[in-house]
A and B are shown apart, each in its own frame.
Chain A
């Protein structure tokens, strides 16, 4: 089944503004950056987390640690996948115990990825708290998960797909709504 582009809902400026706003909200809600760390979920959560950290450094002058979380081994759909997903390394070079963690991903949809990420984090230690930041919230939750920071709420139908393009991975900056073509 093919996908066709239905609409471009964010451009480079839109993405930058959303990430900057999330960075400010994180600092405000946590009364500063003390004990704070960001955890990007592979793949597109990682560059977003790094950009949030860069923004925070600009206006707070502090480098917030950024970790990379691979959740492949925590997925609950291994046997229904058509191919085994490649497992990558989790790279969190600081203890998570006692930290205020902000989990970062590009799109929040069913909530299953976040659930898996929470399981993975809890196996690494006992954070003081975990918050969630996403660039796009497209609804259709299957698990009671809510984001603390949202770049843009995008109501979608289940036939639609959100594609986030980031320079580090895709070479361009945009968010598209794609629609599944009828077979």
Chain B
């Protein structure tokens, strides 16, 4: 059972809590597959998305998840809100609270903002990505997709490839995968691997081909072009040569089947080639569907426990 008011990250969740969310995401996925994609579970509840960073995928995913559960939704696009007039974060939160919003999904460029909000509101807070810290629902949908395709997590060898340093997806994935018993290797340019990341319990590898030979699953991260100004990378072409998932590199595996995940949006021709992205081993579109299902499960669990003495 998940007796929490907030979902701030996978670091704080137990293995049992993660498994409960994944179990409940399965019947939620069935709902998405039906003609009538709607159940009355959260009727009368209001869910808001408050995004301080642009995102289409995650925000629409939260919104659809809430709608499929019959909640009312409100989407605050910060670039066109009073935040631009200088409204403070806490005042924005107080306003949403006063409007009757019960659950809020927050994305912010600074790590720790969802936690800060959770300490200052009656609403349930879901971290929809904070700085370089965590992106728990993305990791949950990755875990769900791996389990859906390979029927287990425990004992699997999972490689996370790319810019580990700037990636909240990588961090949340590491916490989740390790808790569910997978082995994790991070692979990328040395300049993009945080120092002492081994202390989390992962292996570090800078050679992509060796990593691919080792792995059952690879999670290819998006190269965040917007965060590369500081000179971590030389050129994108060079990155593709060394760390891009190309047809040539996969063919060297001589028929070994790898499950390929990517959180999207894809930089085709940089971290992943068309041939790979469109191959049957890549499950990018399934990840998107599963993202809605996992977010439905999270909304259900947080909304269901609100009056029952939550621990968080």
Contacts and interface: CB of A to CB of B under 8 A. Distances in A.
A84 B1 contact: yes
Nearest to A122: B36
B300 interface: yes
Interface stretch (A30-38, A86-94, A100-108, A129-137): A86-94
Contacts of A70: 27
A79 interface: yes
B194 interface: no
A81 B40 CA distance: 16
A70 to B, nearest CB: 7
Given A78-B41, A79-B306, A123-B36, A84 B27 contact: no
18 contacts: A73-B31, A78-B42, A79-B303, A79-B304, A83-B1, A83-B3, A83-B308, A84-B2, A84-B301, A84-B304, A85-B304, A87-B27, A87-B28, A89-B26, A120-B39, A123-B38, A124-B34, A124-B36
B26 A84 contact: no
B24 A86 contact: yes
A74 B2 CA distance: 20
A78 B303 contact: yes
Given A74-B39, A123-B38, A123-B39, A88 B304 contact: no
Contacts, number: 61
Contacts of A75: 41
Interface of A: 70, 73-76, 78-90, 119-120, 123-125
Contacts of B306: 79
Given A81-B304, A83-B308, A84-B1, A73 B39 contact: yes
Interface residues of B, dominant DSSP: loop
Nearest to B25: A87
Interface residues of B, number: 29
Nearest to A83: B1
A87 B1 contact: no
A86 B1 CA distance: 8
Contacts of A124: 34, 36
Ranked 5 nearest A-B pairs via Cβ: A84-B304, A73-B39, A123-B36, A73-B41, A89-B27
B312 interface: no
A4 to B, nearest CB: 27
A123 B37 CA distance: 8
A163 B62 CA distance: 40
B307 interface: yes
